[in-house]
Amino acid sequence: MLTLRTPLRPLSLTAAAVLALGGLAACGDADAGSSGEPEVIASFYPVAWLAERVGGPDATVRTLTKPGAEPHDLELTARQIADVGEADLTFYVKGVQPAVDDAVGKHGKGKALDAATLVKTLPPPAEEEHGQEEEEHGHEEHESSHDPHIWLDPSRMATIATALGDRLASVDAPRAAAYRERAKTLAAQLTALDGRYRDGLKTCKTKSVVTAHAAFGYLTDRYGLRQISIAGVDPANEPSPKRLAELTHEIEEAGATTVFTETLVSPKVAQTLAREAGVKTAVLDPVEGIAAGASGDYLTIMQKNLDTLRPALGCS
């Protein structure tokens, strides 16, 4: 059976603690993988969703990020770091979660798949737009050579799904055909979603999408739009009063009608900006995580995002 497990409360970790867990690993989680299915560690929701859909009943999937939690500032427990070393595959997006990048680098080499290596990436958001504000507020962006938010382009997700099917097939050869078949089906669904986005955003009066943080670069690039973000890659970094004034001017110049808030981040700054600019707010979900028990998934959330964008941008 495919399972999805949530992490324990973060601990401070020392090298000795990691080594001590080596002995526990052999006897812990005895039920996982007992029927021979590969164990996949997924860093957070978008890649966990892919792993679940492609793995189906043939893989055990665990996620490192608690359902509904904002993933960028994830801290790993000692147990989770040990899991990265023991899993058949760790599936993640480098640049989103420094703790995961570090754990993979130290314990998961050769048994990890970085989704960002499977598609063409975009450069990170321009530092001049956000760097000063981050310094003033005591936050630092996790340095990355690319924008890591690749999952917000369905066409890239289709490519990643296919590659994941091939990787799981190599890990578990007896069930290779099943992984590839599920990946093919999922890629077709993602390609269809991409088509709906292309058609739905083809003719819009406004091309600027004002977002809470710089998560939508791939979406806007794919569909001929422009992202204006309040915060950079890390949504915890709030803009200075000077930057808010600049953003207000940018919104007016762009003729934007909406400032988009998010599901996992406080909307207060976005609401303040919208009030100053005299525009409305709406929720645009970066699909970084969903609450436990939620009925939606990546496909339905992305469809809702499209349905939200169209009237906000005046698309015909």
> Checking phi first, is residue 123 left (phi over 0); if not, alpha (psi -120 to 50) or beta?
beta
The span from the CA of 54 to the CA of 207, in Å, is 34
Q: Determine contact, residues 56/177, Cβ cutoff 8 Å.
A: no
The residue extents of the domains of the chain are: 15-120+148-191, 201-313
pTM for the whole thing? 0.85
Give yes or no for a contact between 240 and 132, defined as CB atoms under 8 angstroms apart: yes
**Dihedral sign computed on CA atoms, order 302, 307, 308, 312:** positive
What is the model's pLDDT at position 22? 39
Q: What is the 3-state secondary structure (H, E, C) of the chain?
A: CCCCCCCCCCCCCCHHHHHHHHHHHCCCCCCCCCCCCCEEEECCHHHHHHHHHHHHHHCEEEECCCCCCCCCCCCCCHHHHHHHHHCCEEEECCCCCHHHHHHHHHHCCCCEEEHHHCCCCCCCCCHHHHHHHHHHCCCCCCCCCCCCCHHHCHHHHHHHHHHHHHHHHHHCHHHHHHHHHHHHHHHHHHHHHHHHHHHHCCCECCCEEEEEECCCHHHHHHCCCEEEEEECCCCCCCCCHHHHHHHHHHHHHHCCCEEEECCCCCCHHHHHHHHHHCCEEEECCCCCCCCCCCCCCHHHHHHHHHHHHHHHHCEC
**How far, in Å, CA of 222 to CA of 155, rounded?**
9
What's the confidence (pLDDT) of residue 265? 87
Per-residue confidence (pLDDT) for residue 34, from 0 to 100 = 46
Residue 200 near residue 313 (C-beta atoms within 8 A): no
How open is the CA angle 12-147-41, to the nearest 5 degrees? 45
Contact indicator for 177, 155 with CB cutoff of 8 Å: no
Q: Which CATH superfamily is domain 15-120+148-191 in?
A: Nitrogenase molybdenum iron protein domain (3.40.50.1980)
Residue 131 confidence (pLDDT):
41
Residue type, 98: P
CB-CB contact of 147 with 218 (8 Å):
yes
Type of residue at 77: T
Distance, first Cα to last Cα, the chain = 45
The pair of structure tokens assigned to 36 is 């021979």
pLDDT at 292: 84
pLDDT of 154: 98
What's the CATH code, domain 201-313? 3.40.50.1980
Token pair of 313 as six digits: 């941008």
C-alpha 170/C-alpha 54 separation (Å) is: 13
What is the pLDDT, as a whole number, of residue 294?
86
Closest Cα to residue 307, out of 282, 274, 275? 282
Equal CATH topology for 15-120+148-191 and 201-313 = yes
pLDDT value of position 10: 42
What does the pLDDT profile of the chain (316 residues) look like in tens digits? Answer: 344 444 433 433 333 443 333 333 333 333 344 468 999 999 999 999 999 999 999 999 999 999 999 999 899 999 999 999 999 999 999 999 999 999 999 999 999 999 999 999 999 987 544 444 444 433 444 567 899 999 999 999 999 999 999 999 999 999 999 999 999 999 999 999 999 999 999 999 999 999 999 999 999 999 999 999 999 887 878 888 999 999 999 999 999 999 999 988 899 999 999 999 999 999 999 999 998 888 899 999 999 999 999 999 999 9
With CA atoms as reference, report the closest residue to 61 among 70, 53, 52: 52
